[in-house]
Amino acid sequence: MDVILETTIKCPFCGEEEMVMMPTDRCIRRYECRNCKAFLEPTDKDCCVFCSYAETKCPSKQKETAV
């Protein structure tokens, strides 16, 4: 299965959507919205901001669910 590395992250505060590349070697736990400058942090059950706010799960989660 191919891992998707490009996703769209959506700011829960202002609704800004930004196309971002997800790194495969680490989890991003902090992301600054380019529009409202708010810091996004993952919710309790998620490992990174992509799992919480992006339309695609992060690469490590994609691999987990593919097994």
Interface residue list for Zn ion (CB under 5 A): 11, 13-14, 16, 33, 35-36, 38
User: Least distance (Å) from Zn ion to the CB of residue 14?
Assistant: 3
List alpha helices for 1-67, DSSP H.
49-53, 59-66
Closest to Zn ion by CB, 36 vs 55, is 36
Least distance in angstroms from the C-beta of 11 to Zn ion: 3
Q: Which residues contact 48 (CB under 8 A, 6 or more apart)?
A: 27, 28, 29, 42, 58
Question: 6 or 32: whose CB is closer to Zn ion?
Answer: 32
Cβ atoms of residues 17 and 10 within 8 Å: yes
